[in-house]
Amino acid sequence: MRSFARSRIVLAGALAAALAVSACGGASPTNTPAPRQPDPTATPLPPQPSPGALVIYSGRGESLVDPIIRQFADATGIDAQVKYGGTASLAATLLEEGTNSPADLFYAQDPGGLGAVEPLLSPLPNGILELAPEWARSPQGLWTGISGRARVLVYSPERVPESELPADLSDLTAPEWKGRIGWAPTNGSFLTMVTGMRKIWGEERAADWIRGMVANGAVAYPKNTPQVAAVAAGEIDVGLVNHYYLYRFIAEEGENFAARNYHLPGGGPGALVMVSGAGILSTAENRENAERFIRFMLGTVAQQYFAGQTYEYPLVENVNVNRLLTPLDEIRRPDIALADLADLEGTTAILRELGALP
Amino acid sequence: MRNAASHAPAGAAKAPRAGPPVFIWLPSAAIALLMLLPPVYLLARTAESGTAALDILISGRTLAILLRTVVLVGVVTAACAVLGVALAWLTLRTDLPFRRAFGILTALPLAIPSYVFALLVIVTLGPKGMLQGWLEPLGVERLPSIFGLPGAAFTLILLSFPYVMLPAKAALHRIDPATEEAARSLGRSARGAFFHVTLPLLRPAIVSGSLLVALYTLSDFGAVSLLRYPTFTWAIFIQYETAFDRSVAAGLSLALTALALALLVAESRSRGRAAYHRATPGTQRAFRLVRLGRWRWPAAACAGSVVALSLAAPMAVLGYWVARGVSAGEPLDLLWANALNTVYVSALAAGAAAIGAAPVALLSARYPGWAASALERLAYVGFALPGLAVALAFVFFGASVLRPLYQTTFLLIAAYVVLFLPASLGATQTALRQVSPRVEEAARSLGKTPFHAFRLVTLPMLSRGIAAGAALVFLLTMKELPATLILAPTGFRTLATSVWSAASEAFFARAAMPAILLIFAAGVPAAFLVLRERRD
């Protein structure tokens, strides 16, 4: 009994010790973050200054952007440390951290996330802002787009013949679409689209559209991917999504995947083109490296990566769009400034009021 | 034991004592301080929002969501209590075929992230899912919709019944078979002895496990969002995710805390003041297995179907995704480093929660009073809150006051303790209720200090409860996502973050491998618990 109890105490002590060690080290055995400052004792006569580090908070998925970030680190020697998470939760994290944030750069899935942390960002130099087209960057120069994504209707070619496809979003409120539509009312891109709709169509018509969609029993999905899967599985016939998810499903499940994209020929809010983007925090310790990172991401290599590997629209000239995609100039995208897409809170309030959000 | 004589309040037998010794109150105070972080943070944030949170809270729609949440919590908790007790009894006390294998396998669903399970439910049982595909030759065009309450309840029941099963098994171990035999000798049937003696003795374990199920259901986001059953936690996420409004989210989180506290008060009422330990001297005898007779194989079929639905079917679909990915040229990455990270932080969290739970459990069992019951309730708050709210509380304090510890493993483990302490606390308390305070008093009367009495007498008797609690925390930590993403050192990856990272971008083949590894890794604590049973 005595030795039994003692072994327990020893175990408890070992755990406490392990905790203490981990507190000092701040790292697990398999995680060795490089020190931010170069070790002064390691190289007494440095031939050139070490390129240092860069701390990125990325709301874009690791599977999508890690390869290109690794390429950046290899090319520059910069120790790029990335914290991956959801765009909204990382935005909330940055806001809680305030001026104490260890982050240098925020790489967000959508303009909404960047807009939420705008008070923490510092303006980008003109040399960077000029890289992306004007419609794809913050009006105050606080952040810039990195890659483009188009709003599309994902549909089932089996159940929706081409002749029946709608010209415009407003057609979806017609009775023949009852019970056949999916949407993701909590998704950032969807909210941005509705914000654009309020601007382009006016508040009244946008509210009517939301009412019509709710009356048509639009099925609420938590995000885009389950909608694409649901169209292929036959749960719904059309869904309002971003364009690139479809190609990942096709890459994984083959050409027989039973869904296709459709760019609304009538233009308007349903044909909005949006961006993922990045901004530099005013408290960044590695500002120069952060600027280098954005330049790299808007350079030919990275833009080609986005076009080829993630099926997104490149934002610079001289980089070809993936041949599977509809070229950007064939999309009737509405002419709307990003500044007019900022009021996500107002959109959320309206959606809640009209019963589209719980 | 809980015979007629010991229905008197447990505390009544004790002579009035001095306050708790330092080895109890000092760590208890530290735990209280830690547990206060989220509520304090939420209060500070809510205060910013003015009346916005209140307006949303008292709107008719929120009340409807609240009602739906209560319905889901009720259904899931009741089903888990029945399933958990049945499986605990079958796998421990009967001659069920393969009972040790069942004992291990039934604990594993706890390690499956709820959004992964929900995704698999949709893929297999959805209106046009795999099952419909198989039934199509029979003329089934479309299965009835699983979305809403049926799918959400189905998912959460199959993932959460081990919360009841594990503590119930630990408690079953400590029930003296002599009480059941006494009931039999007084003319009760075997079934009567179970319902009138064993089940009442299991009550603390069932209630504390059910409480975990209820609070987990309250805080779940993955299953309810994918299966489209709007609950209170979903409403909170909408504030974080769509409106980027931390103060309204904080206000709603406080309301969720109030709901959790209401559940806790109900739990302590139901627990009453009955005693569950031996009233008379003597030691417990090993129990004999109940012979199921002709029910042996039907019972095995029932246990088997639970394992098939909660574990085998998910594993099969995940395996299919891996195979499809590999045949399409996806590299087979075994992610050893991530698996090691997962086991490392989960083991630390399990150990820390076990150490943290012991003083709180002792305080509430041996020194009842307002301080003990306040601390006990406070300890449960983190478990009921969305993980993101707790993580942001740690960001708030970590980035400012505890800057050197921010984004270190240490603070991450502290957050895990806040999130999961109740899992450890409940199991430890249940075990402690089965230990008579007289044995400690006997040790004290022989000249031992309170700490020695605890270490030499009480602790060994608690070991099974503590181990069950630690295993629960281990399994919970393995799949934890929001706090891990935000609070872990930059670049630190676990299996759960790998699954999420791939699944959220629709790379299902890439998500499947770490999900399978997660379930295998969960086998470690589950097997540990079951193998300990052999000592009897």
- Condensed to tens digits (0 to 9), the pLDDT of residues B29-57 reads 999 999 999 999 999 988 887 777 777 77
Amino acid type, A169:
L
Residue B455 is given by DSSP the state I
Collapsing DSSP states into helix, strand and coil, what is residue B150? helix
What is the tally of structural domains in chain A?
2
Q: Is the pLDDT of residue B2 over 50?
A: no
User: What pLDDT is stored for residue B531 in this prediction?
Assistant: 76
Find, among A227, A221, A229, the residue nearest to A186 by Cα: A221
pLDDT band (50, 70, 90) for residue A2: very low
Same domain, A222 and A339: yes
Q: A154 — phi, psi (to 5°)?
A: -90, 135
Q: Is the pLDDT of residue A269 over 90?
A: yes
The C-alpha of B402 sits at a distance from chain A's nearest C-alpha, in angstroms, of: 11
Collapsing DSSP states into helix, strand and coil, what is residue B153? helix
Separation CA B276–CA A205 (nearest Å): 66
Whether A234 and B128 lie within 8 Å, measured CB to CB: yes
pLDDT band (50, 70, 90) for residue B503: confident
Q: Residues near A257 by Cβ (< 8 Å), separated by ≥ 6?
A: A232, A246, A249, A250
**Among A5, A22, A23, beta carbon nearest to B455:** A5
Whether B348 and A18 lie within 8 Å, measured CB to CB: yes
Query: How buried is residue B5: exposed, middle or buried, by Cβ count under 10 Å (0-12/13-18/19+)?
Result: exposed
Alpha-carbon separation of residue B413 from A268, B331, B531 (angstroms): 49, 32, 27
Q: Is the pLDDT of residue B202 over 90?
A: no
Residue A63's closest chain B neighbor by CA? Answer: B502
User: What pLDDT is stored for residue B177 in this prediction?
Assistant: 75
User: What pLDDT is stored for residue A33 in this prediction?
Assistant: 43
The C-alpha of B134 sits at a distance from chain A's nearest C-alpha, in angstroms, of: 14
Q: Is the pLDDT of residue A3 over 50?
A: no
**Among A15, A30, A226, beta carbon nearest to B355:** A15
Q: For strands A238-242 and A181-183, give the pairing.
A: parallel
Query: Is residue A13 one of the residues assigned to a domain?
Result: no
Whether A63 and B486 lie within 8 Å, measured CB to CB: no
Radius of gyration for chain A, computed over Cα atoms and rounded to the nearest angstrom: 24
- Buried b or exposed e, range B494-532, using 16+ CB within 10 angstroms: bbbbbbbbbbbbbbbbbbbbbbbbbbebbeebbbebbeb
H-type alpha helices, B126-198 = 130-135, 149-174, 177-185, 190-193
Same domain, A236 and A294: no
Separation CA A89–CA B241 (nearest Å): 7
Q: Is the pLDDT of residue A16 over 80?
A: no
Query: Is residue A25 one of the residues assigned to a domain?
Result: no
The answer, for A241 touching chain B at a CB cutoff of 8 Å, is no
User: What pLDDT is stored for residue B162 in this prediction?
Assistant: 92
Count of other CB atoms within 10 angstroms of residue A344:
23
User: What pLDDT is stored for residue A196 in this prediction?
Assistant: 92
Same domain, A247 and A266: yes
Collapsing DSSP states into helix, strand and coil, what is residue A286? coil
**Among A4, A345, A355, beta carbon nearest to B243:** A345
pLDDT band (50, 70, 90) for residue A32: very low
CB B109 within 8 A of CB B187: no
Q: B480 — phi, psi (to 5°)?
A: -60, 140
Same domain, A154 and A292: no
pLDDT band (50, 70, 90) for residue A55: very high
Residues of B with CB below 8 A from A85's CB? 485-486
Of B277 and A265, more confident: A265
User: What pLDDT is stored for residue A14 in this prediction?
Assistant: 47
User: What pLDDT is stored for residue B432 in this prediction?
Assistant: 86
Separation CA A214–CA A224 (nearest Å): 18
CB B340 within 8 A of CB B404: no
Which has the minimum average pLDDT: A86-90, A301-305, B202-206?
B202-206
Same domain, A217 and A69: no
User: What pLDDT is stored for residue A122 in this prediction?
Assistant: 96
Same domain, A200 and A60: no
Enter the tokens of residue A123: 């303006």
Show which of residues 99-128 on chain A sit within 8 Å of chain B, judged by CB atoms: 100-102, 112-113, 116
Same domain, A238 and A347: yes
CATH number for the domain formed by residue range(s) B18-278+296-533: 1.10.3720.10
Which has the minimum average pLDDT: A31-40, A349-358, B144-153?
A31-40
Separation CA A149–CA B320 (nearest Å): 31
The answer, for B455 touching chain A at a CB cutoff of 8 Å, is yes
Q: Is the pLDDT of residue B421 over 60?
A: yes
Q: Could you tell me what percent of chain B has a pLDDT over 90?
A: 34
User: What pLDDT is stored for residue A19 in this prediction?
Assistant: 45
Of B7 and B340, more confident: B340
Q: Residue range A326-330: average pLDDT?
A: 90
Q: A58 — phi, psi (to 5°)?
A: -115, 115
Mutation pick from A30, A60, A345 vs chain B, by most beta carbons of B within 10 Å, is A30
Q: What is the pLDDT of residues B305-333, one digit of tens each?
A: 999 999 999 999 999 999 988 887 777 77
Same domain, A232 and A342: yes
Mutation pick from A3, A21, A97 vs chain B, by most beta carbons of B within 10 Å, is A97
Whether B244 and A93 lie within 8 Å, measured CB to CB: no
Strand partners, A275: A148
Whether A18 and B129 lie within 8 Å, measured CB to CB: no
Q: For strands A260-262 and A143-155, give the pairing.
A: antiparallel
Q: What is the pLDDT of residues A96-145, one digit of tens each?
A: 999 999 999 999 998 888 988 999 999 999 999 999 999 899 989 999 99
The answer, for B326 touching chain A at a CB cutoff of 8 Å, is no
Mean pLDDT of the residues in chain B: 85
CB B218 within 8 A of CB B386: no
Collapsing DSSP states into helix, strand and coil, what is residue B164? helix
CB B8 within 8 A of CB B213: no
User: What pLDDT is stored for residue B1 in this prediction?
Assistant: 38
The answer, for A26 touching chain B at a CB cutoff of 8 Å, is yes
Alpha-carbon separation of residue A166 from A162, A171, A332 (angstroms): 9, 6, 14
Measured in whole angstroms, the distance separating CA B536 from the mean position of its chain's CA atoms is 25
Show which of residues 390-429 on chain B sit within 8 Å of chain A, judged by CB atoms: 391-392, 395-396, 399-400, 403, 405-410, 413
Q: Is the pLDDT of residue B14 over 50?
A: no
The residue behind tokens 């950007």 is A328
Q: What is the pLDDT of residues A74-85, one digit of tens each?
A: 999 999 999 999
Q: Is the pLDDT of residue B363 over 50?
A: yes
Q: B260 — phi, psi (to 5°)?
A: -65, -40
Whether A85 and B325 lie within 8 Å, measured CB to CB: no
Separation CA B440–CA B444 (nearest Å): 6
CATH of the domain at A253: 3.40.190.10
- Three-class secondary structure assignment of A262-281: ECCCCCCHHHCEEEEEEEEE
pLDDT band (50, 70, 90) for residue A91: very high
Q: What is the pLDDT of residues A221-241, one digit of tens each?
A: 888 988 999 999 888 999 999
CA atoms within 13 A on the CB side of B230: 21
CB A344 within 8 A of CB A112: yes
Q: Residues near A329 by Cβ (< 8 Å), separated by ≥ 6?
A: none
Alpha-carbon separation of residue B90 from A21, A279, B85, B213 (angstroms): 42, 58, 8, 20
Strand partners, A238: A155, A181
Residues of A with CB below 8 A from B347's CB? 15
Q: What is the pLDDT of residues A148-203, one digit of tens each?
A: 999 999 999 999 998 999 999 999 999 999 999 999 988 888 999 999 999 999 99
Alpha-carbon separation of residue B201 from B195, B278, B516 (angstroms): 10, 11, 37
Enter the tokens of residue A126: 């003109």
Show which of residues 460-489 on chain B sit within 8 Å of chain A, judged by CB atoms: 460, 463, 482, 485-486, 489
Q: Give all strands (DSSP E) within chain A, no chain letters.
A: 53-58, 79-84, 105-108, 121-122, 143-155, 181-183, 219-220, 238-242, 260-262, 273-281
Show which of residues 150-209 on chain B sit within 8 Å of chain A, judged by CB atoms: none
Q: Is the dihedral of CA A348, A351, A352, A358 positive or negative?
A: negative
pLDDT band (50, 70, 90) for residue A51: confident
How many beta-carbon pairs below 8 A join chains A and B?
214
pLDDT band (50, 70, 90) for residue B290: confident
Strand partners, A219: A182
Show which of residues 297-336 on chain A sit within 8 Å of chain B, judged by CB atoms: none
Separation CA B396–CA B399 (nearest Å): 6
The C-alpha of A74 sits at a distance from chain B's nearest C-alpha, in angstroms, of: 16
Whether A63 and B502 lie within 8 Å, measured CB to CB: yes
Same domain, A165 and A143: no
Q: Residue range B360-377: average pLDDT?
A: 88
Enter the tokens of residue A308: 């080829």
Same domain, A143 and A265: no
Same domain, A66 and A157: no
Q: Is the pLDDT of residue B274 over 60?
A: yes
The residue behind tokens 């999905």 is A221
Range among A150-154, B105-109, B452-456, B517-521 rated most confident: A150-154
The C-alpha of A80 sits at a distance from chain B's nearest C-alpha, in angstroms, of: 9
Alpha-carbon separation of residue B472 from A228, A321, B67, B421, B423 (angstroms): 36, 50, 29, 10, 6
What does chain A come to in residues? Answer: 358
Residue A19's closest chain B neighbor by CA? Answer: B410
- Largest Cα–Cα distance in chain B? 79
H-type alpha helices, B147-295 = 149-174, 177-185, 190-193, 199-219, 222-226, 232-241, 246-271
Same domain, A139 and A250: no
Query: Is residue A28 one of the residues assigned to a domain?
Result: no
Enter the tokens of residue B417: 């303790």
The answer, for B504 touching chain A at a CB cutoff of 8 Å, is yes
Amino acid type, B11:
G
Collapsing DSSP states into helix, strand and coil, what is residue B480? coil
Domain that holds residue A244: 149-272+333-353
Enter the tokens of residue B184: 């039999």
Show which of residues 28-67 on chain A sit within 8 Å of chain B, judged by CB atoms: 28-31, 33, 55, 61-64
Of A22 and B453, more confident: B453
Residue A7's closest chain B neighbor by CA? Answer: B460
The per-residue DSSP string of A146-162 comes to: EEEEEEEEEE-TTTS-G
Q: Residues near B53 by Cβ (< 8 Å), separated by ≥ 6?
A: B46, B247, B248, B250, B251, B252, B254, B255
Q: Is the pLDDT of residue B10 over 70?
A: no
Separation CA B103–CA B346 (nearest Å): 21
Query: Is residue A41 one of the residues assigned to a domain?
Result: no
Query: Is residue A5 one of the residues assigned to a domain?
Result: no
pLDDT band (50, 70, 90) for residue A46: low
Query: Is residue A43 one of the residues assigned to a domain?
Result: no
ipTM: 0.86
User: What pLDDT is stored for residue B357 in this prediction?
Assistant: 94
User: What pLDDT is stored for residue B455 in this prediction?
Assistant: 81
Separation CA A228–CA A246 (nearest Å): 7
Q: For strands A181-183 and A219-220, give the pairing.
A: parallel
> Within chain B, how many helices (H) and strands (E) appear?
25, 0
Q: Residues near B365 by Cβ (< 8 Å), separated by ≥ 6?
A: B429, B432, B433, B437
CB A31 within 8 A of CB B341: yes
Whether A344 and B243 lie within 8 Å, measured CB to CB: yes
The C-alpha of B236 sits at a distance from chain A's nearest C-alpha, in angstroms, of: 10
User: What pLDDT is stored for residue B280 in this prediction?
Assistant: 59
